[in-house]
């Protein structure tokens, strides 16, 4: 083993690889010896595990591209941009959704290093990916756009890195832009994070300026992992995904010992043994290896029945106990929605798709649910609305499964009066993830609403309008601080339901895009709440039932009925739209009867044109949900919530 320990120096970059097969095709095809298993073991002193963390769009994926180029994984300019953003949804939306790992080799001072890089998402809805990624790292590159300066998410990822005792390499990106102001940004980093301006590196990820120096700073500033090679093998799982032929594959960070193809292993807490069948480095394409040692991040596969969950531990079969390892932090779901098949015959197919996607996206919680109108389905917990949107888009794009999503709701908590008399509530305090489950107000002693601490960084000229927005959303201010003489950091305690849907968009529009926002959980607090039902021609639309703050019931009722009137296409019959609380109608709108004649604009012409229009209309109708013979477009359930 020592022979190998001396020889290999490389750099690992971590990419979470649900779509590795695609990447495998694109990258591996260029490798000459792709199937031969790597037989050398790695010298732990020459391993660096690091992650790139930053506010959204500050250039993480672009920097990852440059690092892949410098280490020879991709040719400069030859590959498409943002190589690590592999999902269709990532490329379409230009955002990173999954953290992705790549192991890179880099020679420095005649030693060959193994660098594991993790490119993480920037959006707050995917922050669990960042938390998971840093659990396998000893350091982070904290990237700040020199044009925009420190933003709300920068504050969040900085404190995450601090909490995990990681070495932070502060880096200013986009210094090529004419409006970049590196000196001011260094001042912000000094005042907010106490970072010495001398230690801040300046780069342009787009042009490649300063990236080599950054890579060398990774080697010199971030320590090698401290590991125990002599103890039995133990690794914690940081990502899992499903492979059609090999079953569940896992990305594991090895804490102690070593593992080989053929090693007998088990999941901690289970006695059943498995045999390691696949072992590979992700570069980011798979590179099979025979063995791996503590400190490394490797892909492990134990055959179709050998999968474990994110955060679980894989240990050697003779391991006495398994307790070490960071594991996956508990995920707190911010929003729940019902997911139902468009028709019940598609239930098995959707079930399979949700199971597979749930394996890759460990942040969702999935529980069976049923509704008289929509049949059998699931209640799914998400980290935010973007997460929900991305989940349903991935279901469709990656698994061809189309689902109906009900109106998303934050979880509420109630304390039930005389809990024993209501059979379904075993405890006194009950979390309500579906507004339909809310019992009659007579049975409820206290309602609780989830709150968050929102952090906003804004130029001072917008302070007035930002404060007005926060107070309008029932926010309570906390002390603010100056980031520099033109920028302020504000903090507010806000109800989660008020920030979830469109707070960020409104904030961006009132500050001409200059303010940024991030939030952290602040737990449940008492709040007067009511259940609001929506009825169409007297029939309850279950998907639109919501829980609202009592003081907001009337304006919300008016907004919902107005919006529904706008969004529901006119029908053959007149439609009464009512919003009700406790049997009282708070708002009512009437949609007049009308048959949309899509062929009205045609005058003469080819009959095929008329047929085409009628066909398009009937296909559109299929995408509608029918309540009391009234057709509602499916996106209504989410769009109606937006102000």
Residue numbers belonging to the annotated binding site for GTP: 54-61, 119-123, 173-176
Query: Which of 79, 176, 290, 389: binder of ligand GTP (CB under 6 A)?
Result: 176
Tally the residues of the chain. Answer: 643
Place of tokens 């790992």: 101
Between the two ends of the chain, the Cα-to-Cα distance in Å is: 63
Give the 3-state secondary structure of residue 348.
helix
Place of tokens 């707190």: 332
Q: Is the Cβ of residue 176 or residue 243 nearer to ligand GTP in the bound state?
A: 176
> Which of 185, 16, 221, 193 minimizes the C-alpha distance to 108?
221
Quote the least distance from Cβ 311 to ligand GTP, whole Å. Answer: 23
Q: Is the Cβ of residue 190 or residue 206 nearer to ligand GTP in the bound state?
A: 206
Q: Is the Cβ of residue 202 or residue 636 nearer to ligand GTP in the bound state?
A: 202
Query: Which of 122, 358, 408, 411: binder of ligand GTP (CB under 6 A)?
Result: 122
Quote the least distance from Cβ 335 to ligand GTP, whole Å. Answer: 20
User: Alpha-carbon distance 40 to 59, whole Å?
Assistant: 34
What are φ and ψ of residue 193, in 5° steps?
-115, 0
Residue nearest to ligand GTP (CB): 122
Please report whether residue 61 would count as binding ligand GTP according to CB under 6 A: yes
Please report whether residue 173 would count as binding ligand GTP according to CB under 6 A: yes
> Which residues 6+ apart lie within 8 Å of 358 measured at CB?
364, 366
Please report whether residue 121 would count as binding ligand GTP according to CB under 6 A: yes
Binding window for ligand GTP (CB under 6 A); candidates: 171-179, 248-256, 363-371, 556-564: 171-179
Query: Which of 59, 210, 306, 311: binder of ligand GTP (CB under 6 A)?
Result: 59
User: Alpha-carbon distance 103 to 498, whole Å?
Assistant: 42
Binding window for ligand GTP (CB under 6 A); candidates: 35-43, 54-62, 246-254, 322-330: 54-62
Residue positions forming the annotated binding site: 54-61, 119-123, 173-176
Binding window for ligand GTP (CB under 6 A); candidates: 51-59, 219-227, 271-279, 631-639: 51-59
Query: Which of 38, 41, 43, 57: binder of ligand GTP (CB under 6 A)?
Result: 57
x/- track of binding to ligand GTP for residues 559-598 (CB under 6 A) = ----------------------------------------
Please report whether residue 82 would count as binding ligand GTP according to CB under 6 A: yes
Q: Is the Cβ of residue 118 or residue 541 nearer to ligand GTP in the bound state?
A: 118
Please report whether residue 51 would count as binding ligand GTP according to CB under 6 A: no
Q: Is the Cβ of residue 59 or residue 307 nearer to ligand GTP in the bound state?
A: 59
Please report whether residue 62 would count as binding ligand GTP according to CB under 6 A: yes
Q: HEC string of 431-474?
A: EECCHHHCCCHHHEEEEEEEEEEEEEEEEHHHHHHHHHHHHHCC
Beta strands in 327-374 (DSSP E): 335-341, 365-371
User: Alpha-carbon distance 580 to 562, whole Å?
Assistant: 14
User: Alpha-carbon distance 353 to 362, whole Å?
Assistant: 14
Q: What is the CA radius of gyration of the chain?
A: 27
Helices (H), 164-277: 182-193, 211-221
What are φ and ψ of residue 279, in 5° steps?
-140, 130
Quote the least distance from Cβ 116 to ligand GTP, whole Å. Answer: 18
- Contacts (CB under 6 A) with ligand GTP, residues 91-120: 95-96
Please report whether residue 380 would count as binding ligand GTP according to CB under 6 A: no
Query: Which of 5, 160, 167, 177: binder of ligand GTP (CB under 6 A)?
Result: 177
Q: At what angle do helices 211-221 and 60-70 cross, to 10 degrees?
A: 90
Q: Is the Cβ of residue 132 or residue 474 nearer to ligand GTP in the bound state?
A: 132
Quote the least distance from Cβ 238 to ligand GTP, whole Å. Answer: 18
Query: Which of 20, 60, 186, 379: binder of ligand GTP (CB under 6 A)?
Result: 60
Give the 3-state secondary structure of residue 74.
coil
The DSSP 8-state label assigned to residue 428 in this structure reads: S
> Which of 16, 200, 121 minimizes the C-alpha distance to 384?
121
Cα angle at 334 between 251 and 489, to 5 degrees? 95
x/- track of binding to ligand GTP for residues 179-208 (CB under 6 A) = -------------------------xxx--
CB atoms within 10 A of CB 443: 15
Binding-site residue total for ligand GTP (CB under 6 A)? 20
Cα angle at 123 between 118 and 125, to 5 degrees? 105
Catalog residues that contact ligand GTP under the rule CB under 6 A: 54, 56-62, 82, 95-96, 121-122, 173-174, 176-177, 204-206
């Amino acid at each position: 083993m020592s022979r190998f320990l001396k020889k290999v120096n490389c750099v690992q970059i971590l990419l979470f690889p649900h779509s590795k097969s695609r990447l495998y095709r694109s990258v591996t095809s260029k490798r000459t010896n792709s199937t031969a298993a790597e037989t050398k073991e790695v010298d732990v002193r020459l391993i660096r595990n690091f992650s790139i963390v930053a506010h959204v769009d500050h250039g993480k994926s672009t920097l990852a591209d440059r690092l892949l180029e410098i280490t020879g994984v991709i040719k400069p300019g030859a590959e498409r941009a943002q190589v690590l953003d592999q999902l269709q949804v990532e490329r379409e939306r230009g955002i990173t959704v999954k953290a992705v790992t790549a192991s890179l080799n880099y020679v420095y001072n005649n030693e060959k290093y193994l660098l594991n890089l993790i490119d993480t998402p920037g959006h707050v809805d995917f922050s669990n990916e960042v938390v998971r990624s840093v659990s396998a790292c000893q350091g982070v590159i904290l990237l700040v756009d020199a044009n925009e300066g420190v933003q709300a998410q920068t504050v969040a990822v900085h404190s995450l890195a601090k909490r995990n005792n990681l070495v932070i390499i502060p880096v200013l990106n986009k210094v090529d832009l004419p409006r970049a102001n590196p000196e001011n940004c260094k001042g912000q980093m000094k005042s907010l994070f106490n970072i010495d301006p001398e230690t801040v590196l300046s780069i342009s990820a787009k042009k490649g300026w300063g990236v080599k120096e950054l890579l060398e700073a990774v080697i010199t500033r971030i320590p090698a992992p401290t590991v125990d090679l002599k103890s039995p093998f133990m690794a914690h799982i940081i990502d899992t995904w499903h492979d059609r032929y090999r079953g569940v594959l896992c990305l594991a960070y090895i804490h102690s010992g070593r593992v080989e193809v053929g090693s007998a292993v088990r999941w901690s807490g289970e006695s059943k043994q498995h045999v390691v069948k696949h072992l590979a480095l992700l570069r980011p394409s798979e590179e099979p290896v025979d063995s791996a040692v503590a400190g490394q991040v490797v892909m492990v596969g134990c055959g179709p029945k050998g999968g474990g969950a994110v955060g679980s531990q894989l240990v050697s079969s003779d391991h006495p106990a398994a307790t070490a390892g960071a594991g996956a932090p508990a995920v707190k779901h911010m929003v729940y929605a019902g997911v139902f098949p468009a028709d019940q015959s598609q239930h098995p197919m959707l079930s399979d798709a949700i199971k597979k996607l749930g394996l890759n996206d460990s942040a969702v919680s999935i529980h069976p649910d049923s509704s008289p109108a929509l049949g059998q389905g699931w209640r799914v917990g998400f980290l935010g609305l973007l997460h929900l949107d991305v989940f349903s888009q991935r279901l469709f794009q990656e698994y061809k499964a189309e689902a109906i999503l009900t109106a998303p709701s934050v979880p509420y908590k109630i304390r039930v009066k005389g809990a024993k008399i209501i059979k379904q509530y075993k405890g006194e305090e009950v979390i309500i993830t579906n507004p339909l489950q809310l019992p009659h107000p007579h049975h409820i002693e206290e309602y609780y609403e989830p709150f968050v601490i929102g952090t906003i960084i804004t130029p001072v000229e917008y302070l007035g309008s930002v404060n007005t927005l926060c107070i309008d959303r029932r926010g309570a201010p906390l002390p603010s601080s100056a980031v520099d003489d033109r920028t302020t950091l504000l903090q507010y305690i806000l109800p989660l339901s008020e920030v979830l849907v469109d707070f960020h968009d409104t904030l961006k529009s009132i500050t001409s895009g200059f303010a940024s926002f991030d939030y952290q959980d602040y737990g449940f607090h008492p709040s007067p709440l009511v259940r609001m039902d929506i009825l169409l021609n007297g029939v309850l639309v279950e998907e639109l039932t919501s829980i609202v703050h009592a003081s907001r019931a009337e304006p919300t009722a008016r907004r919902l009925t107005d919006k529904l009137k706008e969004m529901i296409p006119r029908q053959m019959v007149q439609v009464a739209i009512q919003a009700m609380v406790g049997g009282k109608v708070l708002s009512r709108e009437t949609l007049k009867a009308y048959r949309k004649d899509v062929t009205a604009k045609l005058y003469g012409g080819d009959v095929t044109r008329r047929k085409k229009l009628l066909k398009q209309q009937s296909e559109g109708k299929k995408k509608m949900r029918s309540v009391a013979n009234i057709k509602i477009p499916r996106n209504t359930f989410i769009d109606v919530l937006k102000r």
